[in-house]
Amino acid sequence: MDPWQECMDFGVEVTKEAGKMIREALQKEISVREKSSPVDLVTETDQKVEELIISSIREKFPTHSFIGEESVAAGAPSALTDGPTWIIDPIDGTTNFVHRFPFVSVSIGFTVNRQIEFGIVFSCLEDKMYTARRGRGAFCNGTPITVSGQQDITKSLILTEMGFKKDPEHFRTVMANMESVLSIPVHGIRAPGSAAVNMCLVACGAADAYYHIGIHCWDMAGGAAILTEAGGVVMDITGGPFDLMSRRLIAASSRGIAESIAKKIQPFCCGRDDTEN
């Protein structure tokens, strides 16, 4: 008997409800506020969707813990413990949501003993529900998915994101990293605007890798489960082991491609999710 399957099934149902709420909100006027910078946005819908997800799950599983993007923004702790923990991004791709750009997702990762047991990413405007249970494969709308398996970086399509910090040093490093990867050469770089969707795009073979410095555990947890179950790898940007709370990752279709990217990019300081930044 799988102790966490019931949680996953419940999580999928709640995620569908959340996706419905997001699609309905897109029919109305969207009121936007700034968070950490003028390009880090939040809407009423981010907060309402997170409330819906957390209250539904808490009612069913009252002893479980939560790390939610909007709860952390409001002052809740984001330390990962050994207990069952739901790591939630109610709208991953808020800027896309604000502009009605079609990659907007609900992302949930579930950890026990700090290990990700399952991931759920609902790209709700595309109506694609990605799911993965540890050891049981990855799926999109119930159909198994696998990474491209591409080993040759010069034949790869790479995803990344520019992030929200715009101080000159950060900006220069992000641009220098893109230049360095492009000059390998690779077939191209894309920035779809939702970290969770990016990992699912690699998981289903539409892209070969995704790297990012400065994201958060709620952007990565669901997608990391889906990518690894689809046969991909996640690692730190230095080539070391992936650390969910480190705010950085390379997610790739093969270890070879991930290592090639690790050799090309320079880290910059972005703090951790489990310490004061």
Catalytic-role residue among 94, 111, 160, 228: 94
The three-state secondary structure class of 93 is coil
Element (H, E) at 65: strand 65-68
Shortest Å distance, C-beta 243 to ligand IPD: 17
Respond yes or no: is residue 69 known to be catalytic: yes
Shortest Å distance, C-beta 56 to ligand IPD: 20
Q: Which CB atom, from 219 or from 243, has the smaller least distance to ligand IPD?
A: 219
Contact 138, 29 (CB under 8 A): no
Respond yes or no: is residue 89 known to be catalytic: yes
Q: Which of 144, 118, 114 is nearest to 133 (CA)?
A: 118
Catalytic-role residue among 219, 229, 243, 273: 219
Q: CB within 8 A of 135, min separation 6: which ones? A: 229
d(CA 188, CA 19): 30
β-sheet bridge partners, residue 189: 158
> Rule CB under 6 A: which residues touch ligand IPD?
69, 89, 91-94, 161, 163, 193-195, 214-215, 219
Q: What is the distance in angstroms between the CA of the first residue and the CA of the last residue of the chain?
A: 41
Respond yes or no: is residue 219 known to be catalytic: yes
Contact 162, 174 (CB under 8 A): yes
Shortest Å distance, C-beta 53 to ligand IPD: 13
Catalytic-role residue among 70, 92, 161, 208: 92
Q: Which CB atom, from 78 or from 133, has the smaller least distance to ligand IPD?
A: 78
216 dihedral zone (left: phi>0; alpha: psi -120 to 50; beta): beta
For the CA atoms of 116, 162, 269, 70, the dihedral, rounded to the nearest 10 degrees, stands at: -50
Shortest Å distance, C-beta 271 to ligand IPD: 13
Catalytic-role residue among 69, 161, 208, 273: 69
Shortest Å distance, C-beta 63 to ligand IPD: 27
Respond yes or no: is residue 92 known to be catalytic: yes
Contact 188, 139 (CB under 8 A): no
**How many CB atoms lie under 10 A from the CB of residue 200?**
33
Respond yes or no: is residue 46 known to be catalytic: no
Here the tokens at position 153 are 């970086």
Catalytic-role residue among 91, 108, 158, 213: 91
Burial class (CB in 10 A: 0-12, 13-18, 19+), 135: exposed
Here the tokens at position 277 are 């930044």
Q: Which CB atom, from 50 or from 208, has the smaller least distance to ligand IPD?
A: 50
Known catalytic residues? 69, 89, 91-92, 94, 219
